[in-house]
Chain A
Amino acid sequence: MATRHSRSAARLMMAPAVVLLLGWMLVPLIMTLYFSFRNYFPLRPDRVPGWAGFSNYERFITSSSFWPSVQTTLVIVGGVLVITVLLGILLAMLLDQPMWGQGVVRILVIAPFFVMPTVSALVWKNMFMDPTNGLLAHLWRVFGAEPVAWLSQVPTGSIVMIVSWQWLPFATLILLTAIQSLDGEQLEAAEMDGAPPLKRFWFIILPHLARAITIVILIQTIFLLSIFAEIFVTTGGAFGTRTLTYLIFQRVLESQNVGLGSAGGVYAIILANIVALFLMRIVGKNLDA
Chain B
Amino acid sequence: MGRIQLKDVTKSFGDVQVIPPLNLTIEDGEFTVFVGPSGCGKSTLLRLIAGLEDITSGHIEIDGTDATDVPPAKRGLAMVFQSYALYPHMSVRKNIAFPLRMARMDKAEIDRRVEGAAQVLNLTDYLDRRPGQLSGGQRQRVAIGRAIVREPAAFLFDEPLSNLDAALRVGMRLEISELHKRLDTTMIYVTHDQVEAMTMADKIVVLRAGHIEQVGSPLELYRAPRNLFVAGFIGSPKMNLIEGPEAARHGAHTIGVRPEHISVVPEGGVWTGRVGVAEHLGSDTFFHIHDTGLADTITVRADGEVALSHGDQIHLSPRDDVIHRFDAQGLRIA
Contacts and interface: CB of A to CB of B under 8 A. Distances in A.
Interface of A: 183, 185-186, 188-196, 199, 203-204, 207-208, 210, 289
B228 interface: no
B85 A195 contact: no
B162 to A, nearest CB: 14
Interface of B: 50-52, 71-73, 77-79, 81-83, 85-90, 98-99, 102-103, 130, 132, 146, 150
B102 to A, nearest CB: 4
B52 A192 contact: yes
B98 A203 contact: yes
A208 B88 CA distance: 8
Contacts of B87: 186, 189-190, 203-204, 207
Given A185-B83, A189-B79, A194 B89 contact: no
A194 B152 CA distance: 12
A193 B51 CA distance: 12
Given A183-B85, A185-B85, A186-B87, A192 B98 contact: no
Nearest to A185: B85
5 contacts: A185-B83, A185-B85, A188-B52, A188-B81, A191-B73
A181 to B, nearest CB: 12
Contact of B73 (A185, A194, A207, A289): A194
Contact of B85 (A186, A196, A203): A186
Contacts of B132: 289
A177 B130 CA distance: 24
Contacts of B78: 192
B248 to A, nearest CB: 52
Contact of A191 (B72, B86, B88): B72
A171 B87 CA distance: 24
Contact of A194 (B85, B90, B103): B103
B99 A194 contact: yes
A286 to B, nearest CB: 10
B77 A192 contact: yes
Nearest to B82: A185
A204 B89 CA distance: 8
Given A193-B146, A194-B73, A194-B103, A188 B98 contact: no
Nearest to B80: A189
Given A183-B85, A186-B85, A192 B79 contact: yes
B106 to A, nearest CB: 16
Contacts of A210: 89
Nearest to A199: B102
A236 B252 CA distance: 96
Nearest to B52: A188
A179 B306 CA distance: 60
B73 A192 contact: yes
A185 B47 CA distance: 11
